[in-house]
Structure 1
Amino acid sequence: MGNPSRPIERISVLIPVYNEERTILELIRRVRAVELPYQREIVVVDDGSTDGTREALAQEAEGARDLKVIYHAVNRGKGAAVRTALTAATGDVLIIQDADLEYDPRDYPVLLRPIVEGRTQVVYGSRFLGEHKAMYFWHAVGNRFLTLVTNLLYDTTLTDMETGYKVFTAEVARRLRLRSDRWGFDPEITAQILKRGYRIYEVPIAYNGREYWEGKKITWRDGITVLVTLLRCRFLD
């Protein structure tokens, strides 16, 4: 007997954004262009941008029924922006979407399918399973190492813990107690999902990684933050 399908009326796309004036409006256009049989809302949290992103969003939000824009007075980090977006979201399923065009919204049907079919309540899009532009070597090594540590600590078999595409039901969202403001967000949400007994379903996604000259922000120091967060969540929280 198969799993019962999960009824979905509305999806919420959560977009934390910081200084992405060049890409944010194009991303919103791409999110709107995806054909889905559900209502959708786009929740953008501007995390203290100083480059014109705020002004572009304010103009885009005028008269837009599908777009909510929330502004942080100062930059607080991706984790803080996602927490703010979670409080404003009203969808049955939530999709976390980076604002830099590395991740393609055309993957939404693939990401949503396991939830719609009742197979899981959490889906991660894996950059290592799908087609992708070659990453920086040490970024790939770091990602695989941190994913390996996650698998060892939480008894799972993920291929891409640090993915920007994390999709989950409103029920899962209500059980999260997130507090990491910056790069500790991805390991913290993963740890809480796994410790609460949810199994993560991975699907392949396309990935078009940015270069540093295009604004890529992560460094090796952020990897240390991720590792410390994984250990904290496993043994202290």
Structure 2
Amino acid sequence: MLISIVLPAKNESAAIGQTIEKIKLLSIINEIIVVNDGSMDDTKEAAEKAGAKVVSHPYSKGNGAAIKTGARAATGEIIIFMDADGQHDPQDIPRLLEKIEQGYDLVVGARQKGSQASVGRGVANKLYNNLATYMTEHLVEDLTSGFRAVRAEKFREFLYLLPNGFSYPTTSTMAFFRAGYSVAYVPIHAAKRIGKSHINPMKDGIRFFLIIFKIATLFSPLKMFLPISVVLFLMATGWYGYTLYEFGRFTNMSALLYTGSVMIFLMGLISEQITALMYKDES
């Protein structure tokens, strides 16, 4: 199999060179593609000097956009996505490829304890993983890890779904599950990054809530809407029972809760049909 490495990079001149050198020590890699996402430093020059093929964006489009550019430029049957900041150890690549050879379509490097940059991000990732496990009914060990190996042909099927920002791992993982492709996890340790993080705490907090909803809408919206609908229905029934017993009548609050329950259920049903159309096979 031809194997391509894709490294999205924005202002990573401090780390990109040594990251590429470590990858080159593996004789199994056919090409290394660095997607220079509008860097303002010497990222492009450092990557070229280290021997990588560089594809540049004229301005910063986002991590997800860089991933899509790299996926289109890659010639390998297998694409390995890694961070360019030194967090991911290239020595873990053979372990990911071993799973691919066993028949898996997507293999994710699952970060173990001690790998998270902060307690807050660790808690957020734990919540993502639990919610994704509930939605897919498969154990999801690390939904947001950017260190992954995929079959290029299948990954390109979902390029139109991927956002241009940082949540491409979430979207691609849920898309693979939704399409019925095989997903596996390999335990890894993510080291401390070299250089400054590009993640903004305020934007990251907003992204946290958006990803929660994206997880649902990308896989099975009804599994998210149905529990809410049931809770409202039970509240309506409970309130109706109370008012009937105390006052002998049906109140507006009960009517509102019953209506809300039905509306939310119907929203989930419609969303489920829309999601099915997103994954319609056009081949």
* Alignment TM class, shorter chain as reference: 0.7 to 0.9
Distance change (3 Å), C-alpha of 1:18 and 1:233 = same
Task: Report the more deviating stretch, 191-200 or 147-156.
Answer: 147-156
CA RMSD of aligned residues (A): 2.0
- What are the ranges of 5 or more consecutive residues in structure 1 without an aligned counterpart? 1-7
Distance change (3 Å), C-alpha of 1:109 and 1:30 = same
Aligned pair partner of 1:33 in 14, 25, 34: 25
Per-residue deviation at 1:35? Answer: 4.0
Aligned pair partner of 1:102 in 64, 68, 87: 87
Aligned pair partner of 2:188 in 180, 192, 205: 205
Partner-residue secondary structure (3-state), 1:207: coil
Per-residue deviation at 1:123? Answer: 0.7
Per-residue deviation at 1:56? Answer: 2.4
Per-residue deviation at 1:125? Answer: 0.9
Aligned pairs, how many? 217
Per-residue deviation at 1:135? Answer: 4.2
Larger radius of gyration: 2
Per-residue deviation at 1:224? Answer: 2.7
Greater per-residue helix proportion:
2
TM-score when scaled to structure 2? 0.71
Asked which structure has the greater RCO (Cα within 8 Å, sep 6+), the reply is: 1
* Fraction of identical pairs, as percent: 28
Per-residue deviation at 1:209? Answer: 3.1
Distance change (3 Å), C-alpha of 1:107 and 1:121 = same
The residue that corresponds to 1:50 in the other structure is: 40
TM-score when scaled to structure 1? 0.84
The residue that corresponds to 1:215 in the other structure is: 196
Quote the Cα distance in structure 2 between the aligned partners of 1:11 and 1:108: 11
Quote the Cα distance in structure 1 between the aligned partners of 2:116 and 2:71: 32
Equivalent pair of 1:124/1:203 in contact (CA under 8 Å): yes
Quote the Cα distance in structure 1 between the aligned partners of 2:217 and 2:38: 28
The residue that corresponds to 2:124 in the other structure is: 142
Q: How does 1:1-237 map to 2 (within 5 A)?
A: 8=1, 10-36=2-28, 39-60=29-50, 64=51, 67-118=52-103, 120-128=104-112, 132-133=114-115, 135-177=117-159, 178-210=161-193, 214-218=195-199, 219=201, 220-221=204-205, 222-234=207-219, 235=221, 236=271, 237=275
Quote the Cα distance in structure 1 between the aligned partners of 2:210 and 2:48: 33
Partner-residue secondary structure (3-state), 1:45: strand
